[in-house]
A = this chain, B = another copy of it.
Amino acid sequence: MDEVPRRGRPPGTSGRELEVAALRLFTDLGYDETTVEDIAAAAGVSRRTFFRYFDSKAAVLWGDFDAEVTELRAAFDAIAPDVAMMQAIRQVVVGVNHYRAADVPELRLRMSLIAAHPGLAAEALRHYDAWEREVARFAATRLGVAADELYPLAIARTTLAAARAAFERWAVLADADLPVYLDAALAALADGFANVSETERYGARSR
Please report A residues at the B interface, Cβ cutoff 8 Å: 84-86, 118-119, 121-123, 125-126, 129, 139, 143-145, 149-151, 153-155, 157-158, 160-162, 164-166, 168-169, 181, 184-185, 188-194, 196-198, 202
Contacts and interface: CB of A to CB of B under 8 A. Distances in A.
A202 B150 contact: yes
Given A118-B129, A151-B196, A157-B161, 13 more contacts: A86-B193, A118-B126, A121-B125, A144-B198, A150-B165, A151-B185, A153-B165, A157-B165, A160-B161, A190-B193, A190-B194, A191-B192, A192-B194
Contacts of A192: 86, 189-192, 194
A164 B168 contact: no
Contact of A157 (B144, B145, B164, B194): B164
